[in-house]
Amino acid sequence: MPVRVSIFLFCFVWITMAQLLAQEEKEKTTALKDLLSRIDLDELMKKDEPPLNFPETLDEFEYAFNEHGQLRHIRTGDPFVFNYKEDLHRWNQKRYEALGEIITKYVYERLEKDCNLKKEILPVDATEDEPKSFIYMSEDALTNPEKIMVLIQGSGVVRAGQWARRLIINEDLNSGTQIPFINRAKEEGYGVIVLNPNENSLEVEKVPDPAKKPSPDASDEPAEKRERKEERENKKKKDFYEKYRNPQKEREMEHIPIRENSTPEEHTLYVWDHFISKSLAKNVFIVAHSYGGLSFVNLHCCNWVSSPEPLDTLVDPMLNDCPRVSAGTEKHELTSWKSFHSIFKFFSDALKDHEDESSSSPVTTRSSHRIKNEDL
């Protein structure tokens, strides 16, 4: 009998302790939820991250391009440092993007001042108030009777005259911009047209809709459902804070599409119809990087691809009419620059193969090209 009483007492004490521990854990959880509900995480996070206000010029950033076209710090001579503030990745990324916008304007200046290209507004019949894009052209782009070169970058943040922003910032202007191609083309007698396929919309600050009603009060929700929702929200805020430290609220922006140029594909075809097809040149040469080449894969071409093989080594083709050769690099963004001399040799050889063509041969338009393919 005493043994049974001892076992009973032990079980009773154990159960009681478990209940007390559970109650204590519940009280701690409740206290934590109460604390989190009273903490404005947005305000707390703002204290950790510096304001998202960045310089608007290279001088203010204290960077400049040296005689080799490399971006270097004005005082130290060091390359650009991405991780400027430790453990603040988002802030560093925003700083990098701000510098990228300055780089874009800098390249535009070089296209106009050093390469003597002129800006052509798109659409050609744009009104004063509507969103606009533009391309760059040499003076003889439409009147050169022999040959023109069309340059098209890949997708993303890059704009007219750029191959890769990362290369411009971390390597040099030669590898990251189209400037060497433009200068070489002009030296060899080409007219030049530089497309701008990623300039597809006008970005404006979003105006709040006064007619939009606020979300309904959730006070009528069952308490258990509301608590689970609050827990999820608090966890989401906490996780976001731990990962990004302090996402400050930014202005809400909206994008107004540019007429007939709202996508890279639309832009490329628009420029073809309104400019390239109207050129007097007997020969049109396209240098298209990455995504920029999709609109022209059916034309006579050579595709320099990233590969560990030596430059110009033939690799397995994807299309029978477009041979693929190695660009001599495994870095995709470097393929255009590494293939620079081979590209111009390819164009030169192609010209020799077409020396007997009539000077009155029209430039192929999209409509005639499409009919030809349908007939076949």
Q: Cα dihedral angle (364, 366, 369, 373), rounded to 10 degrees?
A: 170
Q: Confidence class of residue 143 from pLDDT cuts 50, 70 and 90?
A: very high
Q: Which strand ranges, in their side-by-side order, compose the sheet holding 303-305?
A: 303-305, 322-326, 314-319
Q: How far apart are CA 343 and CA 85, in angstroms?
A: 41
301/85: higher pLDDT: 85
pLDDT tens-digit map of 339-371: 989 888 888 888 887 775 544 455 554 444 443
Domain map (residue ranges) of the chain:
118-201+258-375
Is the pLDDT reported for residue 41 higher than 70? no
End-to-end CA distance of the chain: 103
Domain 118-201+258-375 has CATH 3.40.50: yes
Taking all residues of the chain, what is their mean pLDDT, rounded to a whole number?
81
Residue 372 confidence (pLDDT): 39
pLDDT of residue 36: 58
Lowest mean pLDDT segment, chosen from 86-100, 142-156, 252-266, 318-332: 318-332
Alpha carbons within 13 A on the beta-carbon side of 323: 8
Per-residue burial over 40-58, b if 16 or more Cβ lie within 10 Å, else e, is ebeeebbeebeeeebeeeb
For the question of residue 306 being annotated catalytic, the response is: no
Residue of 290, 295, 336, 339 marked catalytic: 290
CA distance 217 to 173: 56
What token pair was written down for 56?
């608007």
The percent of residues above 90 in pLDDT, for the chain, comes to 47
**Mean pLDDT, residues 28-53 taken together:** 63
C-alpha angle with apex 154: 307 to 94, nearest 5 degrees? 110
Report the SS3 class of residue 71. strand
Among 57-61, 238-242, 286-290, the range with the most confident prediction by mean pLDDT is 57-61
Contact between 53 and 60 (Cβ < 8 Å): no
- Compute CA 102 distance to the chain's CA centroid, rounded to the nearest angstrom: 15
Query: Average pLDDT for residues 156-181, to the nearest whole number?
Result: 96
Report the distance separating Cα 177 and Cα 166, nearest Å.
10
Do you know the residue count of the chain? Answer: 376
Task: Report whether 330 contacts 320 (CB < 8 A).
Answer: no
Q: pLDDT band at residue 122, thresholds of 50, 70 and 90? A: very high
Q: What is the pLDDT of residues 91-111, one digit of tens each?
A: 899 999 999 999 999 999 999
pTM: 0.68
pLDDT on residue 332? 87
**Would you say 41 and 247 are in contact if contact means Cβ atoms under 8 Å apart?**
no
CA distances from 263 to 60, 155, 161, 241 (A): 34, 10, 18, 35
